[in-house]
């Protein structure tokens, strides 16, 4: 998506932490989302953060939001081979969501 930018690829070793980064342009966004897409499947909602928060933790997932820089990150602790997928960042404002083009995460054993 032209308003949401993500790096295309990330490769990590099993057990390491993964950090996937995203930048967005609309400072009026109310929610920011992370979705996971496995081959042949739709997008699975992983987590989301409201724009007035700067951090959210949910088990192995940590989301950090820097509103000043319009930067969002997703950290996956203890990455497993089952985490291999495409991860999409999305911003939402007035119920309209704009998605990035996804980051392909490859986890090597």
Taking the least distance from each CB to another protein, the nearer of 68 and 95 is 95
Nearer to another protein, 70 or 88 (CB): 88
Q: Kindly give, in sequence order, each residue whose CB lies less than 8 Å from that of residue 77, ignoring residues fewer than 6 positions away.
A: 17, 60, 61, 62
Q: Does 101 bind another protein (CB under 8 A)?
A: yes
Site of tokens 């911003």: 91
Minimum gap (Å) between residue 99 Cβ and another protein: 3
Separation CA 3–CA 74 (nearest Å):
18
Kindly list the residues in this chain that would bind another protein in the complex (CB under 8 A): 1, 4, 30-31, 33, 35, 40-45, 48, 88, 90, 92, 94-97, 99-102
């Amino acid at each position: 998506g032209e308003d949401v930018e993500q790096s295309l690829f990330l490769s990590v070793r099993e057990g390491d932490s993964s950090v996937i980064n995203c930048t967005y342009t609309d400072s009026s966004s109310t929610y920011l989302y992370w979705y996971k897409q496995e081959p042949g499947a739709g997008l699975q909602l992983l987590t989301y953060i409201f724009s007035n928060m700067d951090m959210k933790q949910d088990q192995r997932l940590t989301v950090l939001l820097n509103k000043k820089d319009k930067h969002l990150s997703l950290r996956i602790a203890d990455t497993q081979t089952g985490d291999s997928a495409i991860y999409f960042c999305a911003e939402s404002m007035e119920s309209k969501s704009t998605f990035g083009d996804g980051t392909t995460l490859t986890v090597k054993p």
